[in-house]
């Protein structure tokens, strides 16, 4: 699979390299607006160094939501979702062991962009936002 490349403008990589999962449209060089929404893209800094892999949303202020810092991770890989999901659940159970009503997964904050899972007693409500 050939993954499209998009490039950050000079000096716009610091926030992303510090761990932030979003890249805003004003941080990117031109050329990403013709990509299909939801397409997988590889993001590079102005020097050509790989920054991350994500999903593009060309018409949004949040133009890319990173899902990996590694080029080899494929969107179809179960490991890409299983580990962050397990970590999110384990964290919530540790922090709020007696709670039956809580947000189990909180999207990019749990490295699962666009996915929100809320627990209400014995029921789960799932939102897919990306």
pLDDT for 43-91, tens place per residue?
A: 999 999 999 999 899 999 999 998 888 887 677 777 778 888 999 999 9
Q: Does position 1 have pLDDT exceeding 90, yes or no?
A: no
Query: What pLDDT is stored for residue 2 in this prediction?
Result: 85
- Ordered strands of the 5-7 beta sheet: 5-7, 40-44, 50-56, 62-68, 22-24
Domain(s) labelled CATH 3.30.750.80 in the chain stretch across 79-128
Rounded-to-integer distance, Cα 49 and Cα 73, Å? 17
- Give pLDDT tens digits for 21-34: 899 999 999 888 88
Higher pLDDT, 3 or 70: 3
The model carries a pTM of 0.74
The class that CATH gives domain 5-68 is mainly beta
Which residue intervals of the chain bear CATH 2.30.130.10?
5-68
Give the distance from CA 108 to its chain's centroid.
5
The second-level CATH assignment, the architecture, of 79-128 is 2-Layer Sandwich (3.30)
What pLDDT is recorded for position 15? 92
**Per-residue exposure over 52-70, b if at least 16 CB sit within 10 Å of its own CB, e if not:** bbbbbbbeeeebbbbbbbe
Q: Tell me the pLDDT band of 130, cut-offs 50, 70 and 90.
A: low
Compute CA distances 75 → 38, 62, 72, 86, 106, whole Å.
11, 19, 10, 18, 19
pLDDT in tens, 99-128: 999 999 998 888 888 899 999 999 999 998
Kindly state the average pLDDT of the residues 91-102.
Answer: 93
């Amino acid at each position: 699979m050939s993954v499209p490349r998009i490039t950050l403008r000079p000096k716009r990589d610091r926030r992303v390299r510090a761990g932030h999962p979003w890249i805003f449209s004003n941080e990117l060089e031109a050329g990403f607006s013709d990509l299909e929404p939801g397409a997988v893209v590889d993001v590079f800094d102005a020097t050509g160094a790989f920054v991350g892999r994500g999903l593009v949303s060309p018409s949004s202020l949040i133009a890319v939501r990173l899902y990996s810092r590694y080029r080899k991770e494929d969107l179809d890989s179960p490991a890409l979702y299983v580990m962050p999901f397990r970590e999110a659940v384990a964290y919530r159970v540790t922090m709020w062991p007696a709670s039956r009503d809580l947000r189990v997964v909180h999207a990019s904050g749990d490295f699962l962009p666009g996915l929100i899972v809320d627990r209400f007693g014995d029921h789960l409500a799932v939102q897919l936002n990306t």
